[in-house]
Chain A
Amino acid sequence: MTADTPVKPYDIGKVREDFPVLHQEINDHPLVYLDNGATAQKPRQVIEVLDKYYREYNSNIHRGVHSLSEKATGEYEAARNKIKNFINAGSLQEVILTSGTTASINLVAQTYGRANLKPGDEILITEMEHHSNIVPWQILCEQTGASLKVVPINDKGELIMEEYQALLSDRTRLVAVVHISNALGTINPVKEIIDLAHAKEIPVLLDGAQAVPHCPVDVVALDCDFYCFSAHKLFGPTGTGVLYGKQALLEAMPPWQGGGDMIRTVRFNETTYNDLPYKFEAGTPHIAGVIGTGAAIDYVTAIGMENIAHYEADLLAYGSEALSHIDGLTQVGTAKNKAGIMSFVMDGIHPHDIGTILDQHGVAIRTGHHCAMPVMERYSIPATARASLALYNTRDDIDALVEALQNARKVFA
């Protein structure tokens, strides 16, 4: 990571102007968007790129000799290159474009997993995973006879590293861990997790859905084997995402879905597959989405991921402090190393009611189990309310959140 880059504050006013959605009233209040963990808003720089693709050069890629197709192919592949540089992947062959984090994880489960797992083998995940990093492995276990092991978390929502080490066994074939928890905000010690697994020659997949928008990610420095993320949480379009994989692993993996683009030759008695990364990219992809992802990466890179991480850390400290002064509010997920996600419950007010009351104040948060039911079970709660930050949020947003929460308390007083 670029730890030696000095942190530079950015012009928050200018950044906010870039996001058209933010400038509206909801229920007679200025919108305060604190549901970035679910999906982030899009800057006009991304919206304009999508618009331009459809207006000026919409066409299929890798298939035409005509000018539009060449332009679309060029922009599409340029976006792949931006993604490669963004996560510091070693080559373009290592950047597989998918429909999102969920698809990326399922791809690894169904190709790497099915090719390598057998009865008695183990897959190691954690108690704080999103359902998309649980269920694909459960399906794989059913298919192969492997079993799923789960590393527990402590009351603060931190991984218990001793338990992790104890569960890393001779039977472990893959470790799959969330980089930053969407339900708790915990930043996991992924470098340590990877080093411990590699000492036993076990590959590691990271679910980076919540990490990529908030901090620099360098897959080479981490030495992770697979890294998955979605564009839509990174200020890009929905329906596109990335699977990074180490080239040697990807080369050895069988293809997943069959179809156009992923083949070299097709005959009825024999089909040969295309090279990486196309081997894993069957069918017409979300072309505009990928190009828009490139624009989103340009956008955050211009601000600087270090600067964003620094800004959000300051805002998180301000927010956690403010929430700690609200009577009857308990924060869920208080890890020492935390990203801008504040999950909480309130005495006598169900999260769902909090969400409705906040919405009446123009404050958008998420309520529910956050696709992490095992986390809710761990804390014996049905749901939490969750405010999640992005680079455009401000202290005013936090103040509006606090005021709305005080109002919720009055309604139920």
Chain B
Amino acid sequence: MSFDMKDLYQDVIVDHNRSPRNFGKLEDADLSLEGYNPLCGDRLTLYIKLNNDIINDISFDGSGCAISVASASLMTEAMKGKSTKEAESVFNDFHHLLTDEEPDLDLEKFGKLAALAGVRDYPSRIKCASLCWHTLNGLLDGSHNSISTE
């Protein structure tokens, strides 16, 4: 394997880690949920504002590694304005991208989220990238008080 850290820490990820988008508590949020990764201590809270089943606004706060923060930042960008159904479908696609043995590597449909595809090669880090997604999923199906990756 050739050493290229850039596969994992692409510019997009470094940038979204340094200046995360949609960062901070959403004061008039309809729903919020905390996600926690006990292994590395990543702790994110996700806030959303729904209009019927459209995600009108979404934000997060908390702290974590570059992968989890950038993933949350990219996710909130991608989810704004989406319906909950669309959100669920992106969640599923993204999950397959990170964990399937032979994923459909047509990265076009992922837009900026494709920057996270490199995480595939770092199994111990997949939980970091998926923390925010599991949290969103838990928020939308309303069945959890908090989300833990363990």
Binding site for B on A (CB under 8 A): 27-29, 348-353, 356-357, 360-361, 367-369, 376, 382-383, 407, 411-412
Instruction: Please give 11 more A-B residue pairs, beta carbons under 8 A apart, in addition to A348-B18, A351-B40, A352-B67.
Output: A29-B3, A349-B66, A350-B66, A352-B40, A361-B3, A382-B40, A382-B42, A382-B63, A383-B40, A411-B9, A412-B9
Contact of A360 among B3, B41, B63, B67 (CB under 8 A): B3
Kindly name the residue among B6, B18, B42, B66 whose own CB sees the greatest number of chain A CB atoms within 10 A. B66
Contact of B122 among A348, A356, A367, A412 (CB under 8 A): A356
Identify 10 residue pairs between A and B in the complex whose beta-carbon atoms are under 8 Å apart, listed by A's number. A28-B1, A29-B3, A352-B67, A360-B3, A368-B40, A368-B41, A382-B43, A412-B9, A412-B18, A412-B66
Inter-chain CA distance A351–B40, complex, in Å, is 8
Question: Smallest CB–CB gap between B120 and chain A, Å?
Answer: 13
Contact of B128 among A29, A352, A411 (CB under 8 A): A352
Contact of B3 among A28, A348, A349 (CB under 8 A): A28
- B9 contact set on A, CB distance < 8 A: 353, 357, 411-412
- A411 contact set on B, CB distance < 8 A: 5-6, 9, 14
Main secondary structure on chain B at its contact with chain A?
mixed
Ranked 5 nearest A-B pairs via Cβ: A382-B41, A350-B65, A352-B65, A352-B40, A383-B41
Inter-chain CA distance A29–B128, complex, in Å, is 25
State whether A356 touches B40 (Cβ < 8 A). no
B residues 40-90 in Cβ contact with A at 8 Å: 40-43, 63-67
Q: Given A27-B3, A350-B65, is A356 in contact with B41 using a C-beta cutoff of 8 Å?
A: no
Interface residues on B, range: 20 to 34
State whether B66 touches A353 (Cβ < 8 A). yes
Q: Which residue of A lies closest to B39 (CB)?
A: A368
Binding site for A on B (CB under 8 A): 1-3, 5-6, 8-9, 14, 17-18, 39-43, 63-67, 122, 124-125, 128
Inter-chain CA distance A411–B43, complex, in Å, is 23
Inter-chain CA distance A411–B8, complex, in Å, is 10
- A368 contact set on B, CB distance < 8 A: 39-41
State whether B5 touches A360 (Cβ < 8 A). yes
- A353 contact set on B, CB distance < 8 A: 9, 65-67
Inter-chain CA distance A262–B5, complex, in Å, is 55
Q: Given A28-B3, A353-B9, A356-B8, is A376 in contact with B41 using a C-beta cutoff of 8 Å?
A: yes
Kindly name the residue among A29, A353, A357 whose own CB sees the greatest number of chain B CB atoms within 10 A. A353
Question: Smallest CB–CB gap between A30 and chain B, Å?
Answer: 13
- A350 contact set on B, CB distance < 8 A: 40, 64-66
Kindly name the residue among B43, B65, B67 whose own CB sees the greatest number of chain A CB atoms within 10 A. B65
Question: Smallest CB–CB gap between A371 and chain B, Å?
Answer: 11
Q: Which residue of A lies closest to B38 (CB)?
A: A369
Question: Smallest CB–CB gap between A412 and chain B, Å?
Answer: 6
State whether A356 touches B42 (Cβ < 8 A). no
- A351 contact set on B, CB distance < 8 A: 40, 65
- A28 contact set on B, CB distance < 8 A: 1-3
- A369 contact set on B, CB distance < 8 A: 41
- A360 contact set on B, CB distance < 8 A: 3, 5
Question: Smallest CB–CB gap between B39 and chain A, Å?
Answer: 7
Question: Smallest CB–CB gap between A344 and chain B, Å?
Answer: 15
Inter-chain CA distance A357–B63, complex, in Å, is 19
Inter-chain CA distance A348–B3, complex, in Å, is 22
Inter-chain CA distance A382–B39, complex, in Å, is 10
Inter-chain CA distance A361–B4, complex, in Å, is 10
Inter-chain CA distance A29–B1, complex, in Å, is 11
Question: Smallest CB–CB gap between B23 and chain A, Å?
Answer: 15
Inter-chain CA distance A231–B41, complex, in Å, is 29
Inter-chain CA distance A361–B5, complex, in Å, is 10
Inter-chain CA distance A27–B122, complex, in Å, is 12
Question: Smallest CB–CB gap between B144 and chain A, Å?
Answer: 21
Inter-chain CA distance A360–B4, complex, in Å, is 8
Inter-chain CA distance A357–B14, complex, in Å, is 13
State whether B125 touches A356 (Cβ < 8 A). yes
State whether B1 touches A357 (Cβ < 8 A). no
Inter-chain CA distance A356–B8, complex, in Å, is 10
Inter-chain CA distance A310–B6, complex, in Å, is 41
Inter-chain CA distance A103–B25, complex, in Å, is 44
Question: Smallest CB–CB gap between B28 and chain A, Å?
Answer: 28
Question: Smallest CB–CB gap between B25 and chain A, Å?
Answer: 19
Q: Which residue of A lies closest to B6 (CB)?
A: A411
